[in-house]
Structure 1
Amino acid sequence: ERCPFLPCHLRAAMAEGEVAKLQRHLSLLREEYVKLQARYADVERKYNVAVAASGSAGSDSFVSRLLKTVASLFDQELYSDLTVQLNGKSVRAHRFVLSCRSQTWGVGNLADVDTLDLTDIQPDVGLVLLRWVYTDQMESGLQDSFLLDLMKTAKRFSLDSLLNRCEEALMSSVNVKNCVRYYQLADEIGAHNLQHHCSELISNHWHDFGSEDFAHMSAPLLYSMFKAKTRYPLHTAIRTHREDVVFLYLIEFDSQLPGKLNELDDTGQLPLDLALSSRQESIASTLLNHRADVNATDFKGHTLLHKAIERGDEFSALFLVEHNASVDLAVPLKKETALHMVAGFGASHESSEGMVHVAECLLKHGADVNAQDSNGNTPIHRSIEAKNMGVFCLLLESGKASLELRNNEQHTPLGFFASLLRWTL
């Protein structure tokens, strides 16, 4: 639905983005259609070969009669030499039929047993599996959860054809909401076709996913996905709140640390800043323990401390100062230090109280109270201009703030003092 408050160019950009996603999705569906066409052609070729070998395409051919006979033997006493025990039900079976399908039935040799114990799988799953073994047919309309259980069981017994059939049935149910979960399940089962299909859908909608979508995925699998789909897997791991994936990254790139920890991503974000801005203190501490630069700058030359104060982030600013961030580094051009920046928060700003706490911490760590910005203003000039009584008082109480330093307009802090008196009236 269109938002009437958005500018036209933003609405157009959003619409173009949705069109691009739909085009990628259609491309994926077209790809699957081409694959199905190829499979159909292969099946048709094999069918023609079989018909030619049998000498007849009629229902009375030897191959047709053999297939019908095998299908009719499902759960029948005729020729039965084996019992499959399901949970609450016994199925009469035939060793030659099961052995033609697979040699992996959980026993050393089918010829040596009279009973096959499958009581650890769901009875309805077991019945559908055995019916497929005999008839090569699977019911339509099965629920996705049932198909997943059936696929796991097919994998267990090396029934690759059944596994592929389940994959094909599930692909039609894959969508943006469930593709991450199905990707993980497909990886666990070894359903590579389904996993590839989910992977393509994930790629097409990568920016639509949040940390909650990956919450239950194993760390190795998620790390592998991040490496395949992003240029900056460390940044992505932090954004998705996955400390376990961060550890895997640190292990793999140990020889390239700390350089890798100070890389800017495409949006100009640093890993440590991402961790702090989302209050992931444990990850932030881990990055520092691996020698991340606490004074690293973004493409504008702003340090992490500058960025934290700019967004009014008391938590991040205090963390950085307590972990030895330089308190006197100035931003380019404006030449503002961290103390200038906190002094410039007006009393009405929602973060003003938190910035007073930051100013107190900066002063405790030796911040220069008389540093001058590009306009010649000291922090006390800035506090007066912003009517920031909290920081103003801290600067005066420090006993180091000069009231005689002039800015570029030759104003001393004393020149603003008269207006300061009006704040308390």
Structure 2
Amino acid sequence: MVLGTGMAFLDGSIVTLALPAVDDDLQAGVAGLQWTVNAYTLALAALILVGGSLGDRYGRRRMFVIGVVWFGTASVLCAVAPTIEVLVAARGLQGVGGALLTPGSLAIISASIRPEDRGRAIGLWSGLAGVTTALGPLVGGTLVDAVGWRSVFWINVPLAVAVVWVTVRHVPESRGAQTRLDVEGAALTVGTLAFLTYGLVEQTWWPALFGVVLLVAFVVHQARSPHALVPLSLFADRVFTAANICTFAIYAALSGTMFLLVLQLQYVAGYTPLEAGLATLPLTVLMLLLSSRAGALGQRLGPRIPMTVGPLVSAAGLLLLLRVGADASFWVDVLPGATLLGLGITLLVAPLTTAVLAAAPDEQAGIASGINNAVSRTAGLLAVAAIPPLAGIAGADFASPDVFGPGFRTGTLMCVGLLVVAAACAAALVHGRSADPEQAPATP
């Protein structure tokens, strides 16, 4: 399960290192690069709740395998794409595969873990998922330097084959509560995110306004539907609402930072793709070494402290990364900020996930997990769409150091602000009680 979801999460970040090479080869422009990232995230964020519902109804292992095969096939289409338009369309298909395979993985793991071990298991799963995301720049930089940008998609094919083989042989089937699929809610979700993203990327007000109208329609529909994708009753719990607000702010900041940083290192600091990937290695190492311990610490202390301190530590790291400019030194300008960013993210990820699950009733743990996952993907989608144009990164000369450098600093400060909002929300609204492992959800 970790390998399968890791493949999807890795692809969400691995492509970032290849963006300059994609631009050179396909003449994508800044909007094309944003859509290369956002087409994937849009499909994943919009359909991940649908994927969870399909797994509950037709079998989680079955949908997981279908999703992996779909993802691998779409990766081939990405690898052979002759134009930026074809690449964007194939990335959207990749996102559909990710939405089918991702939700069932945690549910399958949770069904096999004793209640007293679930806090640590969730922490380990969350940490390893974060590690695969953080590994993207490193793996992507190596592949782009050595082989070319298309190799970042070919690598998914052997991974998909291995995941399917192991899953079919060793993973038991499981199902959840079977309810009618909310087709109308799914359509409104896709429309809302598509129009909002298009309006933000293209800096056009009317699609964004129509996206807001669809969002209102979605909320009204969810309030009235007996089979809602997002049961609004969950948000009556203060901690659940606060944790999802924190999730949105934190993942928007993280996605915006990773998008901007690896491009700043290449366009302004003159790093190669591999060097830019290696510059993010501290984040990967810290998440790999400390995520499980952070999950256990959060279970003992409760979620408030790590969810408050973690974003502030990460924000301090981003302030240090403002030093990254022309001819930036890794040891002086990159390493200190990347280390603090990694420590902060590692501290908060597992307690945040546990807080969301603990705040939901046992019978709604699966949908609560799906909502939180969708919130995190939506945050990344909107951040990558909104932050570059708001920071002044636009136009045909966007890659010029004179344009991208100031935009990087402005966008990074926006991400700092998001992290401070997350810390304040956690401090004010998340209680300090530790989660009771005996009450951990059975099927998140």
Q: TM-score, normalised by structure 1?
A: 0.17
Structure with bigger gyration radius: 1
Q: Higher relative contact order at CA 8 Å, sep ≥6: structure 1 or structure 2?
A: 2
Normalised by the length of structure 2, the TM-score is 0.17
- Which of the two has greater helix per residue? 2
